[in-house]
Structure 1
Amino acid sequence: MTKKIGIISDTHGLLRDEFVEELKKVDMIIHAGDLDNEKIIEEINKLCSKVVIVRGNCDKGKLKEKLPFSDVIEFEGKYIYVIHDVSTMDIDPEAAGIDIVVFGHSHKAYEVEKGSVLYLNPGGAGPRRFSLPISMAILTFENDKYTVQFKYL
């Protein structure tokens, strides 16, 4: 059976309609920080019953208090570590048995395997930054394997 996680980051107060449509089709949503607005949490929670959100460096006040710095979740037998800025990671993912590290911060879509760990940045889903494309990612799990597909606007 196929299961999907919609992964977004760096919305900075803007949850785009095109990404909302993609997020309606997934089994879980991960937001890797920099929401900049509590309404983004409400909007995401309307789209999916399973939501994981961590805070980013731009999430201040109530968002900083409410959201965790990082989180570890299990999905389809795989362990996923979620953090906003990968350079602030306080664990060794491979030693900790993590399969996937999801992060944001750079606004640049990125997917690379280091050892046994997949590092995945969905890119920036909010306002355009510099000349970087606006993007999100879909992580699809099927038969104990996973694939990444980036969605660009």
Structure 2
Amino acid sequence: MKKIAIISDTHSFWDTKIYNLIHECDEVWHAGDFGYSEEIEQNIQKFNIKGVYGNIDGQEIRKRYSKTLRFYCEKVKVLITHIGGYPNKYRPEIKEEIEKYRPNLYICGHSHILKIMYDKKHNLLHINPGAAGKEGFHKVRTMVLLEIHGKEIKNIQVAELGPRVKSTKSIN
């Protein structure tokens, strides 16, 4: 059994809520748009993060990560990319990758929209963990936690990390 943290769209932002959840996990998977800072570099090394680069990532991240990642976690076949779409609305190159690789779990980021849904046509679980960073239009920062037991994906949880931006205005 492995505990997994799935995170995306951090845009160079990590806070104690993210650290506390990641420390409880065996593996951390990042679906792109890491951003880059000394802190991000330290986290990549400290947590041995598996992931892909996103559209905002520079050469520091692109040298380390690829556009797509395929691997097994226990007996679950995993595919991760940053920009991919959703069931029935996959980008053409991702649809082709899904049909060729036939993953059990497909993870993407980019949209900053949290979605967890089953794709009956391709027999896979689709997860977009939303955005854990503060850049973007999302209102709540999120990530996903789950467990992999052999070939089963269990105990999926959405972790709400707090508001994207703290408002300093009062509404009367």
Alignment of structure 1 residues 77-96 onto 2, 5 Å: 77-86=75-84, 87=91, 89=94, 91-96=96-101
Report the secondary structure of 1:134's partner residue. strand
User: Contact 1:16–1:125 (CA<8 Å) still a contact in 2?
Assistant: no
Counterpart secondary structure, 2:69: strand
Aligned residue pairs total: 150
Summarize the alignment of residues 94-105 of structure 1 with structure 2, pairs less than 5 Å apart. 94-105=99-110
TM-score, normalising length: structure 1 = 0.88
**Gap regions ≥5 residues in structure 1:** none
Task: Kindly provide the amino acid, as one letter, of the partner of residue 108 in structure 2.
Answer: F
C-alpha displacement of 1:61: 2.6
Residue in structure 1 matched with residue 28 of structure 2 by the alignment: 29
Letter in 1 for 2:133: G
Equivalent positions of 1:99-118 (< 5 A) are 99-115=104-120, 116-118=123-125
User: Matched residues in 2 for 1:128 and 1:56: separation?
Assistant: 14
Q: How does 1:11-26 map to 2 (within 5 A)?
A: 11-26=10-25
**Structure 1 position 65, deviation (Å):** 3.0
1:89 and 1:144, CA in 2 relative to 1: closer, same or farther beyond 3 A?
A: closer
- SS of the residue corresponding to residue 91 of structure 1 reads helix
The aligned counterpart of 1:152 is 160
Q: Which region of structure 1 is more displaced relative to structure 2, 80-89 or 5-14?
A: 80-89
How far off its partner does 1:150 sit?
0.7
Matches of 1:44 and 1:136 in 2, distance apart?
17
Q: What's the CA shift for 1:128? A: 5.0
Alpha-carbon distance, 1:41 to partner:
3.6
Which has the larger Rg? 2
Q: Please, what TM-score do these two structures have when normalized by structure 2?
A: 0.79
Runs of 4+, deviation exceeding 6 Å: none
Structure 2 vs 1, CA of residues 128 and 152 (structure 1 numbering), >3 Å: closer, same or farther?
farther
Aligned-residue sequence identity (percent) comes to 26
Distance 1:131 1:34 in 2: 15
